[in-house]
Structure 1
Amino acid sequence: MKNIYSFKLKYGLLAFAILLLTACGKEFLEEEVRTETSPTNFFNNDAEGELAVNGVYQLLHDNNLYRQRGLDDYYTHGADVVGPSRNVNGTIHNYLIAEGVADGNGPWTQLYRIVNNATEFLENIDGNEKIDTRDRYVGELLFLRALAYYHLTNLWGDVPYYRDVIPAIERSNLGRFDKDVIRTDMKTDLERAVTLLPAELYSGSDSGRATKWAALALKAKFHLFDKEWQDCKDACDEILDFSPHQLVQDLDDLFAPRNEFNIESIWEVDFVSLQGGPLNTTRTDDYNPRIRDEPARRNNDTIIDGNTVTRVDYFQTEVLQAANEDMTGYGWSVPLPEIARRENWQTGDLRYDASIVTKYKGWELSFPYYKKNWNLDQAESLRGDHPENFIVFRLADIYLMAAEAENELNGPTNAYDYVNKVRERAFEPDQPWSGLTQDSFREAMYDERKFELCAEGHRRMDLIRWGILLDVVKTVEHRSFNNPAANIQAHHVLLPIPQQQLELNPNLLESDPTNNNYR
C-alpha cells in the first residue's frame, strides 16, 4: 500500500545536501559550507534525476505543510467547519494573528524550500540529454513549484518571486511581486506540465507521483480562484472527459484508510507509518479523539450484563481495545456545532454519516468528530506514527468546480449535470437540483461544497474567494471559549508577511508598508 517509499527512503542524503545549497536567510550566508552536492557532479543519469525529484516531494511531508497542522491551520480552521474542542489554537481560530504571532513563518519557509529546490533541479534536468526520463521529471517539478506558489499567493497575496536560478544573496533581498503575475506564469508552467506528465495512473512504487490530471486539477484551482471561468471549466472538462478517474460510489470506501489511491483520488501526499521521521503523519492525531474526553459521561457508572462498570473503562477495554482500536489522539480538530448537527444537513444526505460521528459503536461521544479524517486502528496507525494520506485533489471537487464555472458562464441549465453527478452518490433517494436561477445556484453551491468537502482543506479559501468569510465567521455558532466573530477583520483574508522574514529582508515592505494591513 505504501510502496512509493521503497525509493522515497533514499531522499535523505540528497535532500539534506541540496537544502544546504538552497537554505534561506542571513544565517546561511554567513556559514562556510565545506562539503556539498553540486549540480556539476550530479544529474548524470535517470537515477540521480529521480532522486532529486523525490527530494522535492519529501519537502511536502514537513510539519508546516501536510504532515501536521501546518496548512490545516490556514485552510481549514478559522471558517465554519472545523474548530478546537478546547481552548487551544485560539490565536488562529480567533483571528488574533499578527506579525510574529501565528504569521505562518513555518509554511512560508518550507514552501520556499520547494520553490528553491524545484527551480535548481529544473535548471539541471530540463534539456539534460543524460537523463532519459527528463520530460516527466520536468513536469513533476513544474507541478510542485506551482503548488508552492499556489499556497504562497493564497495565504500572503503578493510574495517574492523567481523561476530562474539566482544567487542566494539576491533571493534574500527580493521584494514582493504582483500575485497575478506569479499565478499567470504558474498557469503557463502547468500547461507545459500537462504535456509532459503521463495520463496513465501510477501504481506500485510510483503511487503518489503527479500525473497530467493532477497538473490539470491544480491549473483549474488557479483559474477558479482568479474567476477565469472558461479556463477553469476547460481544465475540469478535460479531467472529466478523458481521465480514468471516477467517483467512488460508496462514501465509506472513499475515506477508508486502506483505500488510498482509489479511482476518485487525483493526487495525494503519501505517508507511511512504522518508518519514523517525516515519512509518517501526525495530522490524524488532531482528528482522533482522546480517551480522556470519551465517551460521554465517561466517569459515571453504568450496568452492563448485570455488572456495574465505569463507562470509560468498559468503553476502552471491551469496546475499543477488543477491536484493536483506541482513542489516543489529541482530539481537538472537531466539527463546529452547526455542521455537527444532522438537522443542518439535507434530509437523506449520506455524506453526514460518512463525515461526522457523534456516536461510536452505540456509545454517545462527548464531542463530534470528523470520521473521514480519523483512524483508531492500533495495529497500523499508532499515535504519532500514522500512514493516512492527505487527499489534495479528488474528482468530486472537479465536478463541483465545473458546475460553478458553467453557472457563472451560462447559468444553471448545463451546470446541473455536473453537480447532480455528485449529489447522485450523496443522497438516497436521489435529490437532483433543478429550477434554480444563476444567483440561487451560486448560493446553493456555498453549502454543497461545504458538505461534500468539509475538513479536506478547501473551505476557508472558498469563503474568501466568494467574499463571504467575514459574514460566515461572524454568524456561525462557535464554542463558548472561542469568539472569532469579535476579532475578524477584512484584512484577515491574508496573512502578514512573517516577522522573521521582515527582519531578514526589509525589502518585503517596499511595495506595501502596511504588510497586508496588519500595520
Structure 2
Amino acid sequence: MKNISKIVLSVFLVGLLMFSSCDSFLEEEFRSGITTDNFFNNDAEAQLAVNGLYRILHSGALYRQRGIDDFYTHGADVVAASRNVNGTVHNYLIAEGVGDGYGTWNRLYELARNSALFLASVDGNENLSEAARNQAVGEILFMRALCYYHLTNIWGDVPYFRELPSNEELSTITRSPKAEIRADMKEDLARAITLLPTSYSGSDLGRASKWAATMLKAKFHLLDSEWQPCLTECKSIIDNSPHRLLDNFADVFDQSDPANQYNNEHIFVVDFTSDPVSNIDGSTTRTDDYNPRIRDEPANRGANAVDENGNPVLKPNGTQMKNWEYFQSLLQAQNEDMTGYGWSVPLPELADKNNWQEGDLRYDATIVTEYIGWKLNFPYFRKNWNLDQENSLRGNHPENYIVFRMGDVYLMAAEAENELNGPENAYQYVNKLRERAFEPDQPWSGMSQEDFRLAIRDERKFELCAEGHRRMDLIRWGILLDVVKTVKHRSWNNPADNIQPKHVKYPIPLQELELNPALLDTDPTNNGYR
C-alpha cells in the first residue's frame, strides 16, 4: 500500500512491465530497458501502462475481495454476515482509524496518481499512432473517472489533481468540493466517449469501451439528480450500443465456463482469471464470501443421514454418515463443494420469497435456500456463488466482477424519465426488464409520479441486489438511516443502534490526516467524525 503523500512511480512502472498476468489483455512481453525517461515510445508501451491501471482494480481493497462491497453492498438492506464478522461495517462502528477505508483510499489514489502520470505522457504523444493514442487516452480518462467516482461516493470532498503533484504538494494538498470533481469527470468522460472503441473482442474483452464511459457518465448524473443528461446517456446506450438485455435473468451471472464469461448485457466488468497451478492476484477471492462453508450446511447437519428410502447411509467403515457428510458426498459427486467463507448472505427480509412479488423469476436466480434437495441453514446469493471444484477453487476464482450492466441502464432511464415527465414514458424502460422477470408478464401502469418513484426503489433492489449499487441508492434517496433502522437484521448485528447521519460518508483515514493535517482545513470535523 502506498500513501497519497509517498509515491514510487518508477518502481510502479517497472512493476507493470515485469508483472506476469493470466488476464489475456494484460499480458505483454517484457521490454527491457524501459524507464520513466524513455517510456511511451510506441503503441505497445502505452498499452502496457494502461494495462497497469486495470491491474490496480484487482486489489483486494477494490474488486478482488470485499473492498468495494463494504462501501456499496454491505451496510444496507440486502447483504450481511452469516456470523459475527465484519461487524465494523455492518454495525456502523466506523471511526477515524477504525474501518475508515484506508486501504481502499490508498489504492484509489494509486490509480489517480498513475492515471495523471500516464495521461500526461500519452496525450499528444506523436510517437504513438492516432488510434493507439486515442484509445489509451480514453481508457485513462475512464479509469480516472472511475477512481473519483468511488472517492467522492465514499468520502465526499477529497484531494483532487489533474496533473501529478510533487511530493511537497501532496503533503499539503487540501480537499476539493465533490461537485467540482464530478463536473470535471463528466467532461472527461464526454471526451472519452469520442475516443474509445464501441466494442472489443478476443483478448481485449474487459477493456473500457465507449459504452462503459457512457454508463459511468450516466451514473455521475444519476447521483447528482441531473435527470435529463442521465436519461440522454442511458438512451444512447439502449438505442446505439451492442449491449442488450439477455432473455434469461440467470444467464447474466452464469460464469460457469471460464472461457465464456462475457455476455451482451455486461457493459464493464473487472476481469479475473484463475491460475490452475498457483493462486495469483489475477484471480478473485470475492466468490468465497458468497460461497457457503460446509461447516454451516445443511440444516440439521449433525443428524444421522438416511437415503431417500429411509435407509441409513454408511461410510466405508460401516459407521453411519451425518447429514453434512452425506450432503458433501452428493456435492462432490457432481464436482462441487462448499469451501467458501460464507460471510455474505441475504438479510432475512430479502431471502423471504413472500417479500418478492408473486411470480418474480428473479428470486430463484438470485436467492437459494435449498440445494440438491436439501434445506440450507442460511440463504445465499446464487447469482454470486460458484461451487465448481474444477474451475473455481477456493481463493483462486475466475469470476468477473460485473460493475455495470444493461439492467441498471433501463432502471436509470425509467427513474430519470419519471422525475422529468412522470411515469407515462418511463413505463417502457422498467417494463422491458419486467418482461423477463415475470411469466406471465406483469407490466406497470396507472401509477402517479410518486407511486412510480417509490416502486422503482424496490425494483432496483430486486434487480440489482448484491451487485454494488444498493447503499449508494439509499444514500442518494436520503433514506439510508430509515431503511437500516427498520430492516430485520440477525442477532449478531445491531446497525440500527449505531447508525447516524454522518455515516452516509466515511471519515478521511486517520493515517492520511497524520501525514497531512491540511486535509482538515475545509472541514475540521472530518465529515462529522470529530
User: Paired residue for 1:32?
Assistant: none
Q: How does 1:66-465 map to 2 (within 5 A)?
A: 66-132=63-129, 133-199=132-198, 201-257=199-255, 258=257, 259-274=260-275, 276-304=279-307, 305=309, 306-308=311-313, 309-317=321-329, 319-465=330-476
User: Paired residue for 2:42?
Assistant: 45
Q: Is the 8 A contact 2:22 2:273 kept in 1?
A: no
With the length of structure 2 as denominator, give the TM-score of the two structures.
0.91
Amino acid at match of 2:266: S
Consecutive unaligned residues of structure 2, counting only runs of 5 or more, are 1-20, 314-320
Following superposition, the deviation at residue 253 of structure 1 comes to 1.3
Following superposition, the deviation at residue 116 of structure 1 comes to 0.5
Q: Is the 8 A contact 1:245 1:395 kept in 2?
A: yes
Q: Is the 8 A contact 2:24 2:204 kept in 1?
A: no
Following superposition, the deviation at residue 302 of structure 1 comes to 2.9
List 4+ stretches of structure 1 deviating above 4 A: none
Q: Is the 8 A contact 1:60 1:67 kept in 2?
A: yes
With the length of structure 1 as denominator, give the TM-score of the two structures.
0.93
Cα deviation 1:175-224 (Å, max 9, x = unaligned): 0000000000000000000000011x211110100000000000000000
* CA RMSD after TM alignment: 1.5
Q: Is the 8 A contact 2:481 2:501 kept in 1?
A: yes
Amino acid at match of 2:265: E
CA–CA separation in structure 1 for the residues paired with 2:250 and 2:433:
15
Cα deviation 1:337-390 (Å, max 9, x = unaligned): 000000000000000000000000110000000000000000010000000000
User: Paired residue for 2:12?
Assistant: none
Matched residue SS, 2:379: strand
CA–CA separation in structure 1 for the residues paired with 2:400 and 2:242:
20
**Quick check: 271-280 or 331-340, which moved more?**
271-280
User: Paired residue for 1:20?
Assistant: none
Matched residue SS, 1:379: coil
Following superposition, the deviation at residue 276 of structure 1 comes to 2.8
Q: Is the 8 A contact 1:336 1:478 kept in 2?
A: yes
Following superposition, the deviation at residue 5 of structure 1 comes to 1.8
Amino acid at match of 1:285: D
CA–CA separation in structure 2 for the residues paired with 1:377 and 1:248:
23
Consecutive unaligned residues of structure 1, counting only runs of 5 or more, are 18-35
Matched residue SS, 2:58: coil
Q: Is the 8 A contact 1:39 1:124 kept in 2?
A: no
Following superposition, the deviation at residue 165 of structure 1 comes to 2.4
Following superposition, the deviation at residue 445 of structure 1 comes to 0.6
CA–CA separation in structure 2 for the residues paired with 1:374 and 1:427:
23
Compare the two structures and name the one with the higher helix fraction.
1
User: Paired residue for 1:467?
Assistant: 478
Following superposition, the deviation at residue 8 of structure 1 comes to 1.4
User: Paired residue for 2:17?
Assistant: none
Q: Is the 8 A contact 1:4 1:207 kept in 2?
A: no
Count of matched residue pairs: 494
CA–CA separation in structure 1 for the residues paired with 2:465 and 2:302:
32
CA–CA separation in structure 1 for the residues paired with 2:266 and 2:410:
13
Q: Is the 8 A contact 1:74 1:460 kept in 2?
A: yes
